[in-house]
């Protein structure tokens, strides 16, 4: 199973329009993301699997098809990882450890 963990060097701020600013004080870098991307980033705590995050996003956006949400999650994962905002890894279950 895949795990995704947000880069904790970034501090989030949610703007009145719902977009998110992710700011890294150490590097003074700022990234602005859409509301769904900000929520997704926040859910990437390293504990939840992408499957669990997918289920949560489906509950938060019931007007979207599950296919659309799955595609958006894959795209957001790639884009946020490319920006250094996410680390993608593999979960080891208790049975595998």
pLDDT in tens, 64-82: 999 999 999 999 999 999 9
Task: Work out how many domains the chain is built from and give that number.
Answer: 1
- Taken in order 6, 8, 10, 15, the sign of the CA dihedral is positive
Name the residue among 42, 31, 38 with its Cα closest to residue 84.
Answer: 31
Token representation of residue 62: 């019931």
**pLDDT 10s digits, 30-46:** 999 999 999 999 999 98
Residue 16 falls inside a structural domain? yes
Domain assignment present for residue 64? The answer is yes
Domain assignment of residue 95, yes or no: no
Check which CATH number belongs to the domain holding 84 and give it: 3.90.930.60
Question: Do the domain assignments include residue 66?
Answer: yes
User: Looking at the domain assignment, is residue 77 inside a domain?
Assistant: yes
96 within some domain: no
pTM for the full model?
A: 0.87
Domain residues for 86? Answer: 2-90
Is residue 81 situated within a structural domain? yes
Average pLDDT, the chain: 90
């Amino acid at each position: 199973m895949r795990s995704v963990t947000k880069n904790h060097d970034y501090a989030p701020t949610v703007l009145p329009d719902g977009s998110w600013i992710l700011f890294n004080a150490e590097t003074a870098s700022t990234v602005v993301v859409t509301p769904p991307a900000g929520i997704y980033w926040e859910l990437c705590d390293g504990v939840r699997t992408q499957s669990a995050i997918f289920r949560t996003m489906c509950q938060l956006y019931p007007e979207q098809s599950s296919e659309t949400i799955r595609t958006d999650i894959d795209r957001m994962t790639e884009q946020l990882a490319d920006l250094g905002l996410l680390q993608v890894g593999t979960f080891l279950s208790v049975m595998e450890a």
